[in-house]
Amino acid sequence: MILGSGCFDGLHYGHVWYLQQSSLLRGRDEQFVVAIATDDYIRRRKGREPHWPERDRLQTVWALRCVDNVLLDPDEGTAHVIRKLRPRIFVKGPDWRDRLPAEVTMACADVGALIRFTETEHAHTSQVRA
């Protein structure tokens, strides 16, 4: 399994590109699963109300052809999801290079998951293009 994660609160082209590129890492009969941040996480960590409720973000990401399954990233965090699902690869966009939380890196090491970063066509996944 390939595991990606994010808030996707205001899905934009950079997110779609990241998801499409991540899905290309799948092997035969392997799923691409996306863990989506809860509304509570956005409130606590980003200090704001979500633009889209978690249910809408889940359904929107799941509707993309490149995504096989979605789940809410629980309050325990992405490291918990990695330990529970034991993906072959954990993938993030290039804007996370050199700033991936230590607990996520350690969780990947604990389960033997490779960490990969996608490249983007034009912008980092967190930048909305005009």
Which residues on adjacent β-strands are paired with residue 36?
6, 72
Residue 26 reports pLDDT greater than 50: yes
Residue 35: pLDDT band (50, 70, 90) is: very high
This prediction's pTM? 0.89
pLDDT at 38 over 70: yes
Q: Which helix (H) or strand (E) holds 120?
A: none
**Burial annotation 75-105 (CB, 10 A radius, 16+ → b, else e):** eebbbebbeebebebbbbbbbbeeeeeeebe
Amino acid code (one letter) for 9 = D
Beta partners for residue 89, in sequence order: 2, 114
Residues 49-76 have pLDDT tens digits of: 999 999 999 999 999 999 999 999 987 8
Max CA pair span of the chain = 40
Measured CA to CA, the distance from residue 3 to residue 22 in angstroms comes to 8
**What pLDDT shows up at residue 53?**
97
Digit-coded pLDDT (tens) for 89-124:
999 999 999 999 999 999 999 999 999 999 866 554
Q: How many angstroms separate the Cα of 24 from the Cα of each of 21, 31, 68, 109?
A: 5, 10, 12, 22
Domains of the chain: 2-117 (3.40.50.620)
With a pLDDT cut of 70, the percent of the chain lying above it is 92
- For residue 72, which amino acid is it? L
pLDDT for residue 129 is more than 60: no
Residue 27 CB neighbours (<10 A): 10
